[in-house]
Structure 1
Amino acid sequence: MAMATDRLNLEGLRYAQAVAETGSFSAAARAYGVTQPALSNGIAKLEERLGDKLFERSPRGVTPTAFGVRILPLIERALAALDAVGAEARRLTEPGEQKIRMGVSPLIAPHLVARAYSMVQGLPAPRDLVLREANMQELRACLLAGQLDIILIPAVAAMPRFERRVIDVEPIVVVSPDTAEATPVEFTEAGKEQFILVPDTCGLTTFTTQLFQAHEMPLNTYPGEAASYRVLEDWTKLGLGSALVPRSKLTSPDVCHRPLHDQGREVQISFEAVWSATSPLGPDLLRLADSLAVTRKQSHT
């Protein structure tokens, strides 16, 4: 098969690198906000241009072929060099940029946003923080497109080639129609209930699904979907099922709930800051993420 490297598609190269880093076509597709067939098609076209297969699929997962083992590191270096060109151009043409554009998932607690706001003011060169709340797929797409500088999201799916820091952890609680006391409930017991979910946009449903998969337990779901965390509470009161939410998303501390435990330990959801290592704001974004992470550790000691 003839090789035509002069016509390599940049999108296909990025897809291939994402699969190499995540070890999964589905995870790579989620990271780029595209369907798995679209990603697979992009990689297939790249393989056709290169002249051989990059990956082998098996029941155990995705592994590079012998050809891929040689080519994938070259793809990684080529993309890094290309990204560096764009980053340096932005640094030279936008030296006076005073804004940090931050995207946040609706699942992010208000206190975390407030901490980020105050920390941006304390950077060596104080900047304005411009906030945007959106669903996970939109936030990832905007970060990839350079429309956002940093995003705060639940740590439920990898974003290849991006820097990341865990900046907060929060306990998960069970809101149930028959909760009479606030004593902890073990996951093995709570998992037998029927759960009401929200649309899979903010990361909570992904977290819930992964939690049940990790415990190899079936997730019994209510056939409908709640539009908000408040509706989750309202529907549990109607007896439609139970709900798993981060504690900060309770509309009031008085809402009947029970801490969720796994073998005596709190079940927690992690949140992370994600940004491009090649961003011209990279040093400030790193300081911001590290400061949020340090504050988290101090608040939990």
Structure 2
Amino acid sequence: MGERLSIEGLRYARAVTETGSFSAAARTHGVTQPALSNGIAKLEASLGEKLFDRSPRGVALTKFGDTMLPRIEQALRALDDVHAEAARWKAPVPETIRLGVSPLINPKIVASAYRAVCDEPGEDARKQLVLREANMSELRGALEDGDLDIIVVPSVEPMPRYEHRIIDSEPLVLVETRPGAGRARVEDLAGKQLILMPDTCGLTAFTRSLIREHDLSITAYPGEAGTYRVLEEWSQLGLASAMLPKSKLAAADTTYREILDTDGSVLEIFYETIWSPHSPIANQLVHLAGRLVEHNS
């Protein structure tokens, strides 16, 4: 155990624990599954024991992993705190937190963010949450330019040198005119035609990543839906199939199927907070991300 521990490997291990899947964890970090698996293998080699057991039923912590993961989480929090405290010394703390959200984000997460900021006791009770909804590229650009403090987006693209924290997830569902019986498997998507949306909110990026990861033969419907409601309605008309987060289903009587990943777990889309470790309010953003995890667990 003489090798230096990789911070990247530690973050990969935390992501696998949070998502329950190597493939889902890889998607949240915007890397391939082999790259994530290799990072965790190197971490396990440095530690001298395996952290995870993988089987057709999914991923489970080993006894060693169960002991180490709380320490890994503690170490990552300490690293985040070092960045946050250093940033706090550099600039005065503003009285607002500027939060950007993708249209794909479940409204309950926005409500949780409001409570986490505005219902905070003590000095932070004066804080105001300033919300901005925009597409993924606009949110990332605003974060890089300093116009936003933190963003909540689907975990579909990496942002190197920024802090990431998974805060919630929800199942992806398949909507079709004549849905089959029971849950669909991800390999059942092969040969289907899918209605897609403009690649702005993160859903299409997630879908294309899933297709590449599993080497699925899927074609895109030649048209393009502008809203989640239209996506759902068109699929029910029989134009093609649609895949979207369960919270975006508009009609209560819509028939849908959950989708199982290759490891047998329910296919989910993960949402994350992203912020700069050098933000003058980085410590508050770390705290906000933690509160969102608590509110949505």
RMSD of aligned Cα (Å): 2.2
Q: Which of residues 95, 115, 118 is equivalent to 1:118?
A: 115
Following superposition, the deviation at residue 191 of structure 1 comes to 3.0
Hey, what's the Cα distance between the residues in 1 that align with 2:138 and 2:284? 23
Instruction: Please give the residue correspondences for 1:221-236 in structure 2 after superposition, counting only pairs within 5 Å.
Output: 221-236=220-235
TM-score norm. by structure 1 comes to 0.66
Contact 2:231 2:242 in 1 (8 A): yes
Deviation (angstroms), 1:179: 2.2
CA change 1:131–1:151 in 2 (3 A) is: same
Assess if the C-alpha contact under 8 Å between 1:104 and 1:133 holds in 2.
Answer: yes
The question of 1:267 aligning with 2:264 is answered: no
CA contact under 8 A between 2:99 and 2:151: conserved in structure 1? yes
Q: Distance in 2 between matches of 1:242 and 1:148?
A: 36
Give the whole-Å Cα distance in 1 for the aligned partners of 2:236 and 2:184: 19
Question: Alignment partner of 1:91: what SS?
Answer: coil
CA distance in 2, matches of 1:253, 1:102: 30
Q: State the Cα deviation string for residues 148-176 of structure 1 (Å, max 9, x = none).
A: 00000000001111111000111000011
Contact 1:209–1:219 under 8 Å retained in 2? no
Specify the alignment match of 1:244 in structure 2: 243
Following superposition, the deviation at residue 249 of structure 1 comes to: 0.5
| Partner residue of 2:101 out of 80, 100, 104 | 104
Q: How far apart are 1:90 and its partner, in Å?
A: 6.7
Kindly indicate whether the alpha-carbon contact (under 8 Å) linking 2:173 and 2:259 is maintained by their aligned counterparts in 1: yes
The answer on whether the counterparts of 1:169 and 1:269 sit within 8 Å (CA) in structure 2 is yes
Asked if the contact 2:88/2:280 (under 8 Å) is kept, the reply is yes
Paired position in structure 1 for 2:171 = 171
Deviation track 1:47-104 (CA, whole Å, cap 9, x = no partner) reads xxxxxxxxxxxxx9xxxxxxxxxxxxxxxxxxxxxx99xx679714xx4x21111000
Runs of 5+ consecutive residues of structure 1 not aligned to the other structure: 1-59, 61-82
Q: Percent identity?
A: 45
Structure 1 residue ranges, 4+ long, deviating more than 3 angstroms after superposition:
87-90
State the partner residue of 2:286.
Answer: 286
Q: Deviations over 1:102-149 (max 9, x none)?
A: 000000000010011101124351211111000000000000000000
What is the CA-CA distance between 1:220 and the residue it aligns to? 1.1
Higher RCO, Cα 8 Å, sep 6+: 2
**Equivalent pair of 1:120/1:288 in contact (CA under 8 Å):** yes
Do the aligned partners of 1:175 and 1:236 also contact (CA within 8 Å) in 2?
yes
Any residues of structure 2 matched to 1:71-82 within 5 Å, and which? none
* Alpha-carbon separation, structure 2, partners of 1:122 and 1:221: 45
**What CA distance in whole angstroms lies between the structure 2 residues aligned with 1:230 and 1:256?**
14
Counterpart contact for 1:196–1:224, Cα < 8 Å: yes
Query: What is the alpha-carbon distance in structure 1 between the residues aligned to residue 261 and residue 99 of structure 2?
Result: 33
Describe the superposition over 1:220-277 as per-residue Cα deviations: whole angstroms up to 9, x where unpaired.
Answer: 1101110010110111122110111010010033211111112432000111000111
Q: Confirm or deny: 8 A CA contact 2:175 2:236 kept in the other structure.
A: no
The one-letter code matched in structure 1 to 2:259 is: L
Q: Secondary structure at the match of 1:197?
A: coil
